[in-house]
């Protein structure tokens, strides 16, 4: 389903209008992360985490160029709760956060750690099945390091969670931990 959705391509990252047409352009992933690190989300992180993340982005421009190579229809909230099964058919619902951007946004969000019941199921066999299905349905080649690129892209999604006025304190430590794990893994 993700691969089929990503068949719809755009000329740039942008907000979408009511007909899923390109609206106002939005900055690329690299610029969005840097913006968020220098705003409210970044102020909630340890200064060392912000510094390490900014340094990682500066030193790995080719990764972010790869992330931003294509703009596609992104669901914006691609998770198990937004996949509905009816009469042996699967449907994606809840497109209120849809935008045009990197296909890795949806992948990163989907594979981010889940509840204790779901996370054990999201291991390598599921990742491989996802990649196989994506390769069959999407015109966008899926590189061997797709999950790593998706996790880098998901840094933006996680920082957006910290942009709300009130958030549970454990969100900050969890986001910080995941960001550091992601940039260390590269």
Per-residue pLDDT reduced to its tens digit, 138-163: 988 999 999 999 999 999 999 999 99
Question: What percentage of the chain reaches a pLDDT higher than 70?
Answer: 99
Q: Please give the average per-residue pLDDT across 93-99, as a whole number.
A: 95
Q: Answer whether residue 95 shows pLDDT above 90.
A: yes
The reply to whether the predicted model has a pTM over 0.85 is yes
Q: Does residue 40 have a pLDDT over 90?
A: yes
For residue 159, what are its two tokens?
A: 């920082």
CA 56 to chain centre: 17
Q: Which two tokens mark 53?
A: 């993340």
What single DSSP character describes residue 167? -
CA distance 56 to 36: 15
pLDDT tens digits along 107-141:
999 999 767 777 777 888 999 999 999 999 998 89
- Binned at pLDDT 50, 70 and 90, residue 9 comes out as very high
Please give the pLDDT value at position 148: 96
Distance (Å, rounded) from C-alpha 122 to C-alpha 101? Answer: 24
């Amino acid at each position: 389903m993700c691969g089929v959705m990503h068949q719809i391509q755009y000329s740039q990252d942008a907000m979408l209008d009511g007909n899923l047409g390109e609206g106002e352009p939005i900055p690329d992933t690299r610029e969005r992360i840097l913006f968020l690190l220098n705003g409210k989300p970044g102020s909630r992180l340890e200064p060392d985490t912000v510094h390490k993340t900014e340094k990682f982005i500066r030193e790995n421009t080719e990764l972010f160029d790869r992330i931003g190579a294509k703009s596609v229809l992104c669901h914006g909230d691609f998770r198990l709760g937004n996949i509905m099964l009816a009469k042996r058919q699967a449907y994606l619902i809840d497109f209120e956060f849809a935008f045009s951007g990197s296909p890795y946004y949806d992948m990163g969000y989907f594979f981010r750690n889940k509840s204790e019941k779901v996370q054990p199921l999201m291991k390598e066999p599921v990742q491989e099945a996802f990649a196989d299905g994506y390769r069959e349905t999407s015109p966008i080649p899926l590189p061997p390091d797709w999950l790593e690129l998706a996790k880098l892209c998901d840094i933006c999604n996680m920082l957006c969670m910290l942009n709300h006025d009130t958030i549970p304190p454990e969100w900050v430590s969890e986001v910080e931990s995941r960001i550091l794990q992601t940039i260390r893994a590269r």
